[in-house]
Amino acid sequence: MSDNHHQHERGHQDREDRWKHNGVRVIKGDQLDPNTAQTPGMYRQAAINHARVSAQKIWAGTVAIEPNAKTGVHHHGPLESVIFVVRGKARMRWGDRLEYVAEAGPGDFIYVPPYVPHQEINADPENPLQCVLVRSDNEAVVVNITDVEPVEKPEEVYWVDPIHKHPH
């Protein structure tokens, strides 16, 4: 065999090893990473991020929000977010004065465009809201808007997590 053939075989083996370890990844539901800031009223776990799978442009994970939890008014800068409702009832309010409202239930997707002022609400006073969250960057961006009074004033348990800080 020629040296060329051996080099070709080595190159093929290198590619196989690279794809085997750096190709498609399956993150099992019972292997999500709770090693993130936890706060009363919610439980957040990362599935796909830079630290776990070297994701460059997206973040995905789960969030469980206690009954009646609400965020303050905010937007996520240039990020796009997608929320998939697994269980429960989510209410979203958005607009300059939060004048628009929509609700989503199990199986529904919610899309939040860049820079849209909004408030996220668990619309069920008795049951947790369980969602899958995907956002367009690993870097969390939250811009709190303090000059808009929420239509549903945040009270009781806040929807607070590493990117949704407790309103002041």
- pLDDT tens-place string over residues 73-129: 889 999 999 999 999 999 999 898 888 999 999 999 999 999 999 988 999 999 999
* Per-residue pLDDT, 163: 61
Distances, alpha carbon 158 to alpha carbons 17, 82, 93, in Å: 46, 20, 15
* Per-residue pLDDT, 11: 65
Residue-wise DSSP of 15-64: HHHHHHHHS-----GGG-B--S--BTTEEEEEEESHHHH--SS-EEEEEE
Overall residue count recorded for the chain in this entry: 168
- Which pLDDT band holds residue 157 (cuts at 50, 70, 90)? very low
* Per-residue pLDDT, 156: 43
Using DSSP's 3-state secondary structure scheme, residue 19 falls into helix
Of 81, 90, 68, nearest to 113 by C-alpha is 81
Task: Give the residue-averaged pLDDT of 28-37.
Answer: 76
Do residues 36 and 45 lie in contact, with contact meaning Cβ atoms separated by under 8 Å?
A: yes
